[in-house]
Amino acid sequence: MHNYRNFNFLFTLLLLAVTLSTVAAPPKREFYEIKIYHLKNADQEARVEAFLKDAYVPAAHRAGIKNVGVFKPVATDTMAGKLIYVLTPLKSLDQLLALPKTLDKDAAYVSSGKDYIDANYKTPPYARFESIVLQAFTSAPVLTKPDLTGPKSERVYELRSYEGHTEKIYQNKVKMFNDGGEVPLFKRLGFNGVFYGEVIVGSHMPNLMYMTTFENKASRDAHWKSFSEDAEWNKLKVNPEYQNNVSKNTSFFLYPTEYSDI
């Protein structure tokens, strides 16, 4: 009987330890690739969109990637018709490296994307593309789909890039988001943040990027007005610990295509 009680006690402790470790373990930080297509004309725009809609996004779903975002600059942007942004969330860098081979083995992808994949050198589907690779913030380790209900064509997705003077100063801005409370502030004020990430490969490093979303431009402007007036933000922005930690702040205003998951 004594041994039986000891066994039960040890089993209970083991079960409790497993339960606590499961509850306490935070989600692993995702990685994101932002691919930006540069286009010369409407024909290239149509061909890239056909590839994304009919081949890439469905194939990514079959590869276990649920939420692929495809965005275009808003109509008032001078880059409208010249750029397409593709946001792909990834569980690891290994998945990023393996994805091209995974797609190549997908017969439906190869068939649906033939015009893009097998394009002749005289008629390429794009001028060039660039890729930015990010790792999610510790305070926002996974992508969140925005809680929006209005027409996609009216939505405003604001992609922001904060560049730093040096690596050390840039990390101070990252700390401001994670430990200073900037991410929770965005959440409290209803900014519908899709992701917050540290750029680990890109052309404007050191920098971080994040994306917030709104039903329309009026909603976007109202949210930022509430942000600028918020007591917590006005206290945080004058905190001596977080001064002069951004050298350049750039905003890109986008809207999602009808076939975008996000």
Task: Find residue 250's DSSP bridge partners.
Answer: 161
Asked if 207 contacts 162 with a C-beta cutoff of 8 angstroms, the reply is yes
The tokens describing 219, both together, are 């909603």
pLDDT of residue 20: 47
**What is the pLDDT tens value at each position of the chain, 262 positions in all?**
555 455 455 555 555 554 545 555 678 999 999 999 999 999 999 999 999 999 999 999 999 999 999 999 999 999 999 999 999 999 999 999 999 999 999 999 999 999 999 999 999 999 999 999 999 999 999 999 998 999 999 999 999 999 999 999 999 999 999 999 999 999 999 999 999 999 999 999 999 999 999 999 999 999 999 999 999 999 999 999 999 999 999 999 999 999 999 9
Structural domains for the chain: 31-256 (3.30.70.100)
pLDDT tens sequence across 62-119: 999 999 999 999 999 999 999 999 999 999 999 999 999 999 999 999 999 999 999 9
- Assess contact for 187 and 213: CB atoms under 8 A: no
DSSP single-letter state for residue 252: E
Distance of CA 98 to the CA centre of its chain: 19
Residues with Cβ within 8 Å of 47's Cβ and at least 6 positions away in sequence, in order, are 115, 116, 119, 125, 126
Q: State the Cα–Cα distance between residues 60 and 58, nearest whole angstrom.
A: 5
Q: What is the pTM of this model?
A: 0.89
Give, rounded to a whole angstrom, the gap between the first and last alpha carbons of the chain. 59
Q: Please, is 217 exposed, middle or buried when counting C-beta atoms within 10 Å of its C-beta (0-12, 13-18, 19+)?
A: middle
